[in-house]
């Protein structure tokens, strides 16, 4: 790489955001932090800004604006606040790549703004493609923007496809760790606590994605994301449980050949590749050793016990705004579980009922997606209140 890439990190105080900054610390000559954003964690945002001296920062919670502004006055860093500012800041001419690490639906509008401004996208916010994959992929094509996946599974597929884009894919295989409750039955899951669900065996992640991983919804969302990233049909996507999380995903071609990408479960590697593509940059991250993993095992996911995975496949097969309904309902259900208002299995019941009740739109516009998201959240919240 010659000139350093100027990076905007949306969600810089979260798990992906902080790991992105770890990558940049190792490669100061290759990357320059241009923008940092956070929702509520003003203290960490200030700390990051004082270290990396970006052009601008945005704090989503407007009540924290004055605190951030006063802390950064000596460094002459521009400070903005609010959700609209997050969507607008990505349009700055000085940005080359926007890494979207916002949680859930909140990533959609800023990503649309970044694409329309011609910025390359490093996508860690899978919900953007889950909610409005058809619109996002069409916009990326229209504006000549590349979307580089940051999820380890989609990064693996992307890496396996380099040099193979002229060869049709027979199917892809997304691997799943199975989460902390792999092999457990519904009886066990009835009494699962928040603390148990937040203990992922392999990955360090934020609370929302950790619960999604425990319920296999995260894998379901990744199935929908993969459809749009790689132009696949539902029947071309398979999920296999791989407890060791060493093989991150595989591609099977028409001749029966399989290509896989392997490595230790470390999100910094796909983050770095999304930012540095087409280059691979040297780093000092821990290396995988086969002798430490003499057995790599695989098994079928239990879609009956972990209904969320089946619900995601069903929503993808329905098409239209069904994945948007699924995502919105799941965000409300997970938030309620984290507040200990609903049980682990109830999350799937809420999502299934919301999918049945919300209006289905076969060919939604962006306005339809926005309306669908709001209505699905309302329905799920009403169901939670009714069941109390």
Residue 18 domain boundaries: 5-149
Q: How many CB atoms lie within 10 A of CB 70?
A: 11
Is 85 domain-assigned?
yes
Q: What band does 162 get if pLDDT is binned at 50, 70 and 90?
A: very high
Q: Quickly list H helices, 6-125.
A: 15-26, 42-52, 65-72, 83-89, 108-116
Is 28 domain-assigned?
yes
pLDDT tens, 9-27? 999 999 999 999 999 999 9
Q: Mean pLDDT across the chain, nearest whole number?
A: 95
Query: What pLDDT shows up at residue 203?
Result: 61
Is 385 domain-assigned?
no
In angstroms, rounded to a whole number, what is the distance separating the alpha carbons of residues 273 and 149?
9
Query: What pLDDT shows up at residue 103?
Result: 82
> Would you state the structure tokens that stand for residue 100, as one six-digit string?
């979207």
| 36 contacts: CB under 8 Å, gap ≥ 6 | 8, 9, 12, 17, 45, 48, 49, 52, 54, 57, 58
What CATH code is carried by the domain that includes residue 34?
Answer: 3.40.50.720
Query: What pLDDT shows up at residue 373?
Result: 96
Is 71 domain-assigned?
yes
pLDDT tens, 324-371? 999 999 999 999 999 999 999 999 999 999 999 999 999 999 999 999
Question: What is the pTM (predicted TM-score) of this model?
Answer: 0.93
pLDDT tens, 279-335? 999 999 999 999 999 999 999 999 999 999 999 999 999 999 999 999 999 999 999
Number of domains in the chain: 1
**Angle, helix 344-357 to helix 207-215, in steps of 10 degrees:** 90
In angstroms, rounded to a whole number, what is the distance separating the alpha carbons of residues 304 and 374?
28
Contact 284, 90 (CB under 8 A): no
Is 305 domain-assigned?
no
Query: What pLDDT shows up at residue 202?
Result: 66
204 has a pLDDT exceeding 70? no
Is 358 domain-assigned?
no
Is 299 domain-assigned?
no
Q: At 304, phi and psi to the nearest 5?
A: -80, -45
In angstroms, rounded to a whole number, what is the distance separating the alpha carbons of residues 328 and 104?
8
In angstroms, rounded to a whole number, what is the distance separating the alpha carbons of residues 23 and 185?
39
374 has a pLDDT exceeding 80? yes
**Terminal Cα-to-Cα distance of the chain (whole angstroms):** 57
- Residue 174 pairs with which residues in a beta bridge? 239, 249
Is 263 domain-assigned?
no
């Amino acid at each position: 790489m010659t000139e350093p890439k100027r990076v905007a990190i949306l969600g810089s105080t979260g798990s992906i955001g902080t790991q992105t900054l770890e990558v940049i610390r190792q490669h100061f000559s290759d990357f320059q932090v241009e923008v940092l954003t956070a929702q509520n964690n003003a203290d960490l945002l200030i700390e990051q800004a004082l270290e990396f001296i970006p052009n601008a920062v945005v704090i989503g919670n407007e009540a924290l604006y004055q605190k951030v502004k006063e802390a950064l006055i000596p460094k002459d860093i521009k400070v903005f606040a609010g959700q609209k500012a997050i969507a607008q800041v990505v349009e700055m001419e000085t940005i080359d790549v926007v890494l979207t690490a916002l949680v859930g639906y909140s990533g959609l509008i800023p990503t649309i703004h970044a694409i329309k401004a011609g910025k390359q996208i490093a996508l860690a916010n899978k919900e953007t493609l889950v909610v409005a994959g058809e619109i996002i992929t069409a916009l990326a094509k229209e504006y000549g923007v590349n979307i580089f996946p940051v999820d380890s599974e989609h990064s693996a597929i992307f890496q396996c496809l380099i040099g193979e884009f002229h060869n049709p894919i027979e199917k892809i295989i997304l691997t799943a760790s199975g989460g902390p409750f792999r092999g457990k039955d519904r009886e066990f899951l009835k009494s699962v606590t928040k603390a148990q669900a937040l203990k992922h065996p392999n990955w360090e992640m934020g609370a929302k994605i950790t619960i999604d991983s425990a319920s296999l919804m995260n894998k379901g969302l990744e199935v929908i994301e993969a459809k749009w990233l790689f132009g696949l049909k539902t029947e071309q996507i398979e999920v296999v449980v791989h407890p060791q999380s060493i093989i991150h995903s595989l591609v099977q071609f028409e001749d029966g050949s399989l290509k896989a990408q392997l490595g230790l479960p470390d999100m910094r590697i796909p983050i770095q590749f999304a930012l540095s593509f087409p280059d691979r940059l040297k780093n000092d991250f821990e290396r995988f050793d086969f002798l430490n993993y003499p057995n790599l095992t695989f098994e079928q996911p239990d879609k009956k016990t972990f209904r969320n995975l089946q619900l995601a496949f069903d929503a993808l097969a329905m098409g239209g705004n069904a994945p948007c309904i699924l995502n919105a309902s799941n965000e409300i259900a997970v938030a309620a579980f984290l507040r200990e208002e609903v049980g682990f299995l109830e999350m799937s019941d809420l999502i299934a009922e919301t999918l049945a009740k919300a209006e289905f739109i076969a060919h939604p516009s962006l306005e339809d997606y926005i309306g669908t998201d709001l209505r699905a959240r309302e329905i799920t919240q009403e169901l939670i209140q009714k069941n109390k």
